[in-house]
Structure 1
Amino acid sequence: MIYDHYTLRMSYHLFINYTYLIVEPNSGHAIVVDPAWELDKITQQLEKAHANLRAILLTHSHYDHVNLVPTLSDWMQPDVFMSQKEIDASGFRCKRLHAVNDKDRLLLGELPFHCLLTPGHTAGSMCFQLEKSLFTGDTLFTEGCGACPVPGGSPEAMYLSMQRLKAEIKDDVRIFPGHSFGMSPGQTMGHLCKNNIYLQLNREHFIRFRMRKNQQGLFDFQ
């Protein structure tokens, strides 16, 4: 399978997000993961690759991951995919919205995406795997994991999601999160298993550490 992968670092006030653009050169189809800000960056890369936006994959419904969905939907009319559980829990709606479930396989053009439901940051957070790349949104970061805010978040569910990823994702798969806190996206799962403390704690210590007091706020992800 051949595809080009673009990592777009998006900034908006205090929010810095990574949006990912995946292009299949043979067909010119493109998929964007979690379009946040800076529409011009996405359109520039689409034009550079002579690609048409076929689909949007949403890891969860938070504003800093879905902000550009209405604009892109009106302009380019892509299909939009989000987990059924997240749609139900959040009430998120947009044009051409399709629900996906755990272990679903999405064939977008010639690109096969596998859906992994990983609740914890939100009730219906989902990761999308394309061959040796895993797009994790705010579930798993290189340096930590997502916050578990109330309502919707659950440290117990996050622990189970971490254990699932640790068990099911091979060491050579590269992790592409929604945020980064020092290291560039694309580190291997093997690297994270050795260096990310949230993949090393037992359930009790995980919950206690994730929910510890005196964190700066919702976006203190580590």
Structure 2
Amino acid sequence: MSQTYQMVTLKLRHNYFKNYVYIIIDNETRYGAIIDPAWELDEIEKTITKYQIELKSILITHAHYDHINLVNPLVDKYDADVYISADESECFGFTCKNQIRISDNQILKLGNTSIKCMLTPGHTIGSTCFLCYRHIFTGDTLFSEGCGLCTSYSGSAEKMYHSIQKIKKEIPGNIRVYPAHSYGFKPGHTLDYLKYNNVYLILEDKQTFIDFRMRKNQKDLFNFC
């Protein structure tokens, strides 16, 4: 893949929710793909106008409400296609207009920009990361500080372990990681950096990983160590 795009980061809020929403823009066509649109529709629409984006695609990492609540308004206004993994759509019963179910390693085209779909179950059964040249958008699979909860509906710590190992094996170390949430580190650290600073990338043994992720008496949901 060659770099034919730019990326815009939006930090959007609703009450105590804070989500990072990303827009990939193909430089030549101005086609855009938005990842996990949530909360502040006006801010998203202002960004689309500011960058002269023709919104073509909505990419869903998983079907939790804080990642999909603006899908329908955006589809209604821009008639964009919505990409979600088949497993996720079936498990959560998520349907919408223009839905396209994707599979592992599928390549999506956004003008001259290629986006690779990477199935990474664990937080949910059909969680998906999206790889675009030097950026990987990881939703709630991999945070800079840790990894997503595995206790929600369809979650699995064992599957999360395998997904983390898959990322470590298949993604080059210079790729920058852009999760949907931040708990201390800003998005955009390289995978190599996280391999030395994120405990879930450091743990190699499967049972140790599972026991640590599922340990009792954690201080709070987002205390990763």
Which residue of 117, 123, 127 maps to 2:125? Answer: 123
Partner of residue 210, structure 2: 207
Structure 2 distance, partners of 1:181, 1:10, is 15
Residue 215 of structure 1 deviates from its aligned partner by: 3.2
Structure 2 distance, partners of 1:60, 1:122, is 7
Question: Secondary structure of 1:182's partner?
Answer: coil
Say which is worse superposed, 16-25 or 134-143, in terms of deviation: 16-25
Residue 220 of structure 1 deviates from its aligned partner by: 2.6
RMSD over equivalenced CA pairs, Å: 1.2
Letter paired with 1:65: H
Q: What TM-score does the superposition give when structure 2 sets the normalisation length? A: 0.95
| Contact 2:28-2:111 at 8 Å conserved across structures | no
Question: Once superposed, which parts of structure 1, at least 4 consecutive aligned residues long, lie more than 4 Å away?
Answer: none
Structure 1 distance, partners of 2:75, 2:176, is 29
Partner of residue 9, structure 2: 7
Residue 150 of structure 1 deviates from its aligned partner by: 3.9
- Count of matched residue positions in the alignment of Structure 1 and Structure 2: 221
| Contact 1:146-1:221 at 8 Å conserved across structures | no
Residue 96 of structure 1 deviates from its aligned partner by: 0.2
Sequence identity (%): 45
Return closer, same or farther for 1:150/1:184 CA change in 2, 3 Å cut-off.
closer
Structure 1 distance, partners of 2:166, 2:177, is 14
Question: Secondary structure of 1:9's partner?
Answer: strand
Question: Secondary structure of 1:72's partner?
Answer: helix
Letter paired with 2:201: L
Structure 2 distance, partners of 1:115, 1:148, is 21
Pairs within 5 Å for 1:50-199: 50-199=52-201
Structure 1 distance, partners of 2:223, 2:153, is 17
Structure 1 distance, partners of 2:184, 2:195, is 17
Structure 2 distance, partners of 1:69, 1:188, is 29
Unaligned runs of 5+ in 1: none
Partner of residue 19, structure 2: 17
Question: Secondary structure of 2:115's partner?
Answer: strand
